């Protein structure tokens, strides 16, 4: 429904309350990041960003996102197709298993990977003699990032595709389109905003993941330190300004994420 | 399990099923299995000794009570925000709406760093609170605020769409029939949004239970006072005490599963509820 | 976009698989408070003719040993305690004659557990006995994860053994009180320092002298004072080549050359400048004004060697567990 301008004093009070809360709890933290990052001037700010450790952390974080986001978009779309276009036994279980990583503590996500690929783990002792080292490498970071963001795209697409139904696709098939043509020309245009929306959420989580990554990273400076780990490391090095400079890059990404989300919401809902 | 029950017109069953099962096995199921095997490898008395140790019990108590309080705060505030966003047009509404999602977009470690700085005795908020004897950093209050911050959007985003659906005409009819605004809210609106509200609260609670990045910065991490379960797992790992880490991780996994089942049941309830109403 | 993706994947594969050609970088897995030390050492090393890049990873010494056992590809381990290297020996990662590969039992520098108090020393903390007093809060890292924390235990025990003339009941009573005065056991030495400085927890921080002097220099003598106890425990910081890793990577020569550098006068100078006491006598004499006189007991004199310490004190259910009740 379309809201109306506030009429009574009570409703104006409610709106004011909402703004006060948002100001204290949301806007001030955001402002603080940039205010602290820029406190010693732009020169010091860029010096902190271009410090090799931080620069590499930015690189690693971006690369991880570039790998993880497309994979989870692809798999998320496949999952949503499977769950919304067919009925099969075990469907509920499948959906529950996909949802699990979102409900789990990120530390647990890291722990399960350590127990799988660590040298004392399930597969570690088999892989190690083959020269395949996964723990404490960027690959481990990619794997846990895939894990923690596995549900995000599917979660956006499943309700959307369920609501849209299958008529368009069935029509395309009856007109002689093959499966891929149907997907490219009918399904994808229908779900593209949901897909992008899910990708934006996935990206935000991948770039910001801390708990799971801190278990599997080994925090090698300039190698396996992602941006959130770098922020923590600089904080512990007594380098508060550098820490906030690194944090500001992530905050900037967060703001962009919000802008894209807000723009997309009009498309998804409308 | 992957048996097709009825013949479908649409293609891609085998392909998407293959992709999904392969991915789920490799990325989700196998790692969890590795942990379950670790837990299964220890005896029941050993498992019980770890998960019921005093330090673990204190960590559960702190984690659960903080998450509960954070959820109550977010329930109230979330309802207010959802109400304001759906009911009124006013300048800055779009910005407010976008800002709600900040805790999802902002990495938790950054959130932790910011909160601990805000509430430091020289920080923007700390210098107002500390002289009045309110200490946030490194107390349970800090944990509660960190959990509250990271889960602000859940209730808002759950209630908002349902609130938009509630028929305004229906409300105005009720009002013209002499119902007070409070009666309209408690008899018509509240029952409609209740399932979504509870669903949002459950998600908010689950997220708070698992929150790590933001909490470790501000919690102080004192065993028995401000140590959360996730941190205890992390410490046990560093101590090379894998049994304890696995056992505690198992507890969190079970809680996560229970939350999922609860949300799914709520969703089913909501469908039935809405279905019955219309 | 596709090209970018491909190169990103290639970079990942390269980074995660053993490099077959002669490597140009090595990884030094080190203890928590050595962040600034090895940054300086690596810079000094890079200024020599060496072309290798030395990467750093820092955490509690024992946590690092665990990480290497779990697969962290560290070419060299620069730890702060022999017991942590022994874990690598037991795991088959380091040969058991590691101590004879470098001078001075492979320990280029040393330090000892010392005290850091807030300006003016409001609680009047002078010696180990003051730490067990009622109403005093003590910060030191978790002895289960940090060599730093275990040294603190050993130093406190060495002091108590002298003070109570070997009366085990009294020693344990003192240690139990000391551990009960610790509100939080951080997993690494640096985290303990930030607990004391940033979070303002505790009245006294017990950590290596290297850290107490570093903090006073970095955060100001107007805020903190270093206090040296009457007796402490010699903490030699051992280094070792991780044989299993260097053999797989072909980086043994690089690792050896890097560790050798730590024993040279230049390497020793850098250590002294970062408040680690150098073994080199000439360098030590030149920096005598930085380091006050202190009486240090050795592991052999006080406890009969590291093997005995490991089995009697640090094993599960050992003497440490008896007094570390709040863990």
Residue from the list B222, B234, B241 with its beta carbon closest to the beta carbon of C184: B222
Q: Which of B137, B225, B238 sits opposite C63 (nearest CB)?
A: B238
Q: Which residues of C touch B231 (CB under 8 A)?
A: none
C111 has which bridge partners?
C235
Could you tell me the CA-to-CA distances from A122 to A125, A148, B32, B243, C196 in Å, in that order? 7, 20, 11, 14, 39
Q: CA B231 to CA B214: how far, in whole Å?
A: 11
Domains C21-110+236-286 and C113-233+294-323 share a fold: yes
Task: Summarize the confidence of residues B159-182 as an average pLDDT.
Answer: 79
The confidence score (pLDDT) of residue A83 equals: 93
When the pLDDT of each residue in chain C is averaged and rounded to a whole number, the result is: 91
In Å, how far is A223's CA from the nearest CA of chain B?
A: 19
Q: In this model, does residue B278 exceed pLDDT 70?
A: no
Range of the domain at A106: 42-269
Test C55 with A220 for CB contact under 8 angstroms: yes
DSSP label of C22: P
Q: Does B169 touch chain C (CB under 8 A)?
A: no
What distance in Å separates the CA atoms of residue C317 and residue C324, rounded to the nearest whole number?
Answer: 10
Condensed to tens digits (0 to 9), the pLDDT of residues B175-206 reads 778 778 788 888 888 888 898 899 899 989 98
Question: Which residues on chain B are in Cβ contact (under 8 Å) with A81?
Answer: 12, 16
What's the ipTM? Answer: 0.89
Against chain C, the chains showing at least 3 CB pairs within 8 Å are A, B
Confidence of residue C19 (pLDDT cuts 50, 70, 90): very low
Strand partners, C295: C231
Contact C327 B55 (CB under 8 A): yes
Beta-carbon separation of A22 and B96 below 8 A: yes
C96-123 per-position pLDDT tens digit: 999 999 999 999 999 999 999 999 999 9
CA-CA distance, A127 to B135, in Å (whole number)?
50
Q: Which of B163-177, C135-149, C179-193 has the lowest mean pLDDT?
A: B163-177
pLDDT at B7: 47
Q: What is the mean pLDDT of residues C1-24?
A: 56
Q: Strands, E, within chain B: which ranges?
A: none
- A30 domain-assigned: no
In the predicted structure, residue C196 carries a pLDDT above the cut 70: yes
Pairwise CA distance, residues C177 & C155, whole Å = 15
CA dist., res. B195 & res. C325, Å (int): 46
pLDDT value at residue B2: 43
Let me know if residue A47 belongs to a domain: yes
- Mean pLDDT (whole number) for A133-156: 94
Residues with Cβ within 8 Å of residue B168, at least 6 apart in sequence: A1
Query: Of the given ranges (B5-19, B131-145, B189-203), which has the lowest mean pLDDT?
Result: B5-19
Q: Cβ neighbours of residue C187 under 8 Å, at least 6 residues apart? A: B234, B235, B238, B239, C59, C60, C63, C141, C142, C145, C146
Q: Assign a CATH topology to domain C113-233+294-323.
A: D-Maltodextrin-Binding Protein; domain 2 (3.40.190)
pLDDT, average across residues C176-184: 92
User: In the prediction, which pLDDT does A3 show?
Assistant: 66
Q: Which residues of A touch C35 (CB under 8 A)?
A: 236-237
Region A152-162: what's the mean pLDDT?
92
The closest alpha carbon to B59, from B250, B226, B254, belongs to: B226
Query: So what's the pLDDT on residue B17?
Result: 96
Under the banding of pLDDT at 50, 70 and 90, the label for residue A270 is: very low
Residue B268 pLDDT greater than 90, yes or no? no
* Contact pairs from chain A to chain B, CB under 8 Å: 299
Q: What is the CATH number of the domain that holds A115?
A: 1.10.3720.10
CB contact under 8 A, B239 and C145: yes
Q: Which site among B238, B241, B244 would you substitute to test the C interface, given the most C Cβ atoms closer than 10 Å to its Cβ?
A: B238
What local confidence, expressed as pLDDT, does residue A148 receive? 96
Contact status, residue C121 vs residue C115, Cβ threshold 8 Å: no
- Does any domain span residue A204? yes
- The reported pLDDT for the residue numbered B80 is 95
Q: How far apart are CA B206 and CA A117, in angstroms?
A: 27
Q: How many domains does chain A have?
A: 1
- Give A253-256 contacts, CB < 8 A, sequence gap 24+: A253/A204, A253/A207, A253/B105, A254/A30, A254/A204, A254/A208, A254/B102, A254/B105, A254/B106, A254/B107, A254/B110, A255/A30, A255/B105
* Confidence band, pLDDT 50/70/90 cuts, at residue B264: confident
> pLDDT value at position C201?
87
Least CB–CB distance from B238: residue in C183, C187, C199: C187
Q: Which residues of A touch C192 (CB under 8 A)?
A: none
Pick the residue from chain B with its C-alpha nearest to C87. Answer: B240
Q: Which residue of A has its CA nearest to B166?
A: A1
What is the pTM assigned to this prediction? 0.88
Condensed to tens digits (0 to 9), the pLDDT of residues A50-96 reads 999 999 999 999 999 999 999 999 999 999 999 999 999 988 889 88
Pick among A65, A121, A136 to test the C interface (most C CBs inside 10 A): A136
Nearest to A139 among C12, C36, C57 (CB): C12
Residue C15 has a pLDDT of 52
Burial of residue B20, with CB atoms counted within 10 A of its CB: 0-12 exposed, 13-18 middle, 19 or more buried: buried
pLDDT, tens digit, 9 for 90 and up, residues A208-247: 999 999 999 988 988 899 999 999 899 888 888 899 999 9
The answer to whether the Cβ–Cβ distance between A70 and C59 falls below 8 Å is: no
Query: For residues C263 and C107, what is the distance between their CA atoms, to the nearest angstrom?
Result: 9
**Structure confidence at residue B3 (pLDDT):** 42
Distance CA A82, CA B20 (A): 8
Q: Taking CB atoms and an 8 Å limit, are B238 and C66 in contact across chains?
A: yes
Q: Are C154 and C299 in contact, with CB atoms under 8 Å apart?
A: yes
Topology given in CATH for the domain delimited by C21-110+236-286: D-Maltodextrin-Binding Protein; domain 2 (3.40.190)
Q: Sign of the C-alpha dihedral, residues C302, C308, C309, C314? A: negative
- Res A7: pLDDT: 74
Output the average pLDDT for chain B: 88
Task: Output B37 or B165, whichever has higher pLDDT.
Answer: B37
* pLDDT tens readout for residues B58-112: 999 999 999 999 999 999 999 999 999 998 989 999 999 999 999 999 999 899 9
Residue C206 has a pLDDT of: 98
Secondary structure, 3-state, C159-194: HHHHHCCCCHHHHHHHHHHHHHCCCCCCCCHHHHHH
Q: Give the percent of chain C with pLDDT over 90.
A: 79
- Judge whether residue A137 has pLDDT over 90: yes
C266-316 tens-digit pLDDT: 999 999 999 999 999 999 999 999 999 999 999 999 999 999 998 999 888
Cα–Cα distance, B133 to B136 (Å, whole number): 10
Percentage of residues of chain B with pLDDT beyond 90: 58
Contact list, C187 vs chain B (CB under 8 Å):
234-235, 238-239
Instruction: Give the number of other Cβ atoms within 10 Å of residue C186's Cβ.
Output: 26
Instruction: Give the tens place of pLDDT for each residue, B81-95.
Output: 999 999 898 999 999
Residue A32 lies in a domain: no
Inter-CA distances, C151 with A127, C10, C143, C147, Å: 36, 44, 8, 6
Q: Residue B1's pLDDT band (boundaries 50, 70, 90)?
A: very low
Q: Which of A9-13, C29-33, C40-44 has the lowest mean pLDDT?
A: A9-13
Cα B135 versus chain centre, distance: 25
Candidates A218, A219, A234, A237, partner chain C, best to mutate (most C CBs within 10 A): A218
Look at residue B185 in the predicted model and tell me its pLDDT.
85
**Count of CB atoms within 10 A of residue B22's CB?**
12
Separation of alpha carbons C180 and B55, rounded Å: 14
CB-side neighbour CA atoms (13 Å) of A87:
4
Tell which of C57, C62, C187 to mutate to test the B interface (max B CBs under 10 Å).
C187
B222 near C CB under 8 A: yes
- Residues from chain C that touch A121, judged by Cβ atoms under 8 A, are 70
The verdict on B139 touching C (C-beta cutoff 8 Å) is no
Residue A57 lies inside a defined structural domain of this protein = yes
Candidates A61, A80, A25; CA nearest to A204 is A61
- What DSSP state is assigned to residue B132? G
Tell whether A219 is covered by a domain: yes
List the domain boundaries for chain C.
Answer: 21-110+236-286, 113-233+294-323
| Helix/strand/coil percentages in chain A, nearest 5 | 80, 0, 20
Contacts of C317 in chain B (CB under 8 A): none
Which residues in chain A touch residue B217, judged by CB atoms under 8 angstroms apart? 235
pLDDT of A268: 57
Residue C210's nearest CA partner among C15, C41, C14, C85 is C41
The residue among A186 and A3 whose pLDDT is bigger is A186
Which residues in chain C are contacts of A66 at CB distance < 8 A?
4-5, 8
Measure the CA–CA gap between C275 and C222, rounded to whole angstroms: 19
């Amino acid at each position: 429904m379309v809201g109306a301008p506030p009429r009574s004093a009570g409703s104006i009070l409610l709106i004011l309350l909402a703004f006060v809360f948002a100001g204290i709890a949301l806007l001030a933290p955001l402002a603080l990041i940039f205010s602290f990052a820029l406190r010693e001037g732009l020169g010091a700010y860029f010096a902190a960003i271009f410090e090799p450790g931080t620069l590499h952390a930015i690189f690693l974080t971006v690369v991880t996102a570039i790998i993880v986001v497309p994979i989870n978009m692809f798999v998320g779309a496949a999952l949503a197709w499977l769950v919304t276009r067919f009925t099969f036994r075990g469907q509920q279980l499948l959906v529950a298993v996909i949802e699990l990583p979102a409900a789990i503590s990120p530390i647990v996500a890291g722990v399960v990977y350590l127990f799988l690929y660590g040298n004392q783990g399930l597969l570690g002792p088999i892989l190690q003699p083959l020269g395949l080292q996964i723990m404490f490498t960027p690959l481990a970071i990619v794997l846990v990032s895939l894990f923690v963001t596995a549900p995000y795209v599917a979660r956006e697409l499943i309700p959307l595709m369920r609501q849209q139904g299958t008529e368009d696709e069935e029509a395309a098939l009856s007109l002689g389109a093959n499966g891929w043509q149907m997907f490219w020309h009918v399904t994808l245009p229908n779900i593209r905003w949901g897909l992008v929306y899910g990708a934006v959420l996935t990206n935000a989580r991948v770039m910001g993941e801390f708990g799971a990554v801190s278990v599997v990273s080994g925090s090698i400076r300039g190698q396996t330190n992602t941006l959130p780990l770098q922020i923590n490391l600089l904080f512990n090095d007594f380098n508060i300004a550098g820490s906030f400079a690194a944090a500001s890059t992530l905050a900037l990404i967060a703001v962009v994420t919000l802008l894209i989300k807000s723009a997309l919401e009009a498309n998804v809902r409308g | 399990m992957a048996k097709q029950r009825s013949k479908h017109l649409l293609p891609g069953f085998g392909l998407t099923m293959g992709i999904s099962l392969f991915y789920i096995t490799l990325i989700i199921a196998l790692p969890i299995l590795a942990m379950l095997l670790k837990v299964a490898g220890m005896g029941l008395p050993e498992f019980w000794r770890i998960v019921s140790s005093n330090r673990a019990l204190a960590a559960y108590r702190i984690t659960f009570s903080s998450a509960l309080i954070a959820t109550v705060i977010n329930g109230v505030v979330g309802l207010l925000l959802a109400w304001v966003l759906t009911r009124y047009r006013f300048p800055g509404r779009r910005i407010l709406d976008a800002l709600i999602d900040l805790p999802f977009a902002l990495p938790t470690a950054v959130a932790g760093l910011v909160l601990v700085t805000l509430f430091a005795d020289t920080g923007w908020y700390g210098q107002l609170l500390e002289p009045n004897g309110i200490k946030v950093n490194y107390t349970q209050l800090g944990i509660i605020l960190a959990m509250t911050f990271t889960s602000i959007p859940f209730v808002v985003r759950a209630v908002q769409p349902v609130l938009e659906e509630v028929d305004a005409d229906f409300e105005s009819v009720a009002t013209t029939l002499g119902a007070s605004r409070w009666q309209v809210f408690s008899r018509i609106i509240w029952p409609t949004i209740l399932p979504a509200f509870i669903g949002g609260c459950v998600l908010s609670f689950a997220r708070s239970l698992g929150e790590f990045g933001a909490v470790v910065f501000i919690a102080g991490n004192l065993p028995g006072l401000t140590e959360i379960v996730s941190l205890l797992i992390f410490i046990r790992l560093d101590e090379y005490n894998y049994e304890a880490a696995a056992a505690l991780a198992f507890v969190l996994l079970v809680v996560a599963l229970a939350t999922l089942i609860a949300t799914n049941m709520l969703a089913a309830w909501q469908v039935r509820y809405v279905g019955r109403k219309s | 976009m596709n090209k970018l993706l491909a190169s990103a994947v290639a970079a990942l594969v390269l980074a995660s698989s053993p490099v077959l050609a002669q490597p140009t970088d090595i990884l030094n897995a080190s203890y928590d408070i050595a962040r600034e030390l090895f940054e300086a050492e690596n810079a000094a090393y890079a200024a020599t003719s060496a072309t290798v890049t030395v990467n750093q990873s820092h955490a509690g010494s024992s946590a690092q040993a665990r990480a290497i056992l779990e697969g962290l590809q560290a070419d060299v381990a620069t730890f702060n305690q022999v017991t942590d290297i022994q874990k690598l020996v037991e795991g088959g990662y380091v040969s058991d004659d590691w101590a004879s590969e470098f001078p001075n039992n492979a320990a280029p520098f040393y330090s000892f557990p010392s005290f850091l108090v807030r300006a003016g020393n409001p609680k009047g903390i002078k010696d180990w006995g003051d730490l067990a007093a009622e109403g005093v809060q003590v910060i030191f890292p978790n002895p289960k994860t940090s060599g730093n924390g275990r040294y603190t235990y050993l130093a406190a025990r060495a002091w108590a053994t002298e003070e109570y003339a070997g009366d085990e009941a009294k020693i344990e009573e003192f240690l139990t009180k000391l551990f009960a005065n610790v509100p939080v056991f951080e997993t690494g030495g640096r985290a303990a320092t930030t607990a004391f400085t940033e979070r303002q927890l505790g009245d006294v921080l017990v950590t290596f002298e290297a850290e107490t002097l570093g903090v006073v220099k970095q955060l100001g003598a107007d805020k903190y004072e270093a206090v040296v106890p009457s007796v402490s425990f010699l903490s030699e910081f051992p280094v070792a080549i991780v044989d299993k890793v260097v053999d797989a990577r072909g980086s043994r020569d690089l690792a050896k050359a890097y560790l050798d550098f730590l024993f040279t006068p230049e390497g020793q100078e850098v250590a002294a400048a970062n408040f680690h006491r150098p073994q080199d006598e000439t360098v030590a004499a030149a920096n005598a004004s930085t380091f006050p006189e202190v009486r240090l007991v050795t592991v052999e004199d006080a406890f009969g060697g590291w093997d005995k310490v490991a089995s009697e004190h640090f094993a599960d259910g050992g003497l440490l567990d008896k007094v570390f009740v709040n863990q």
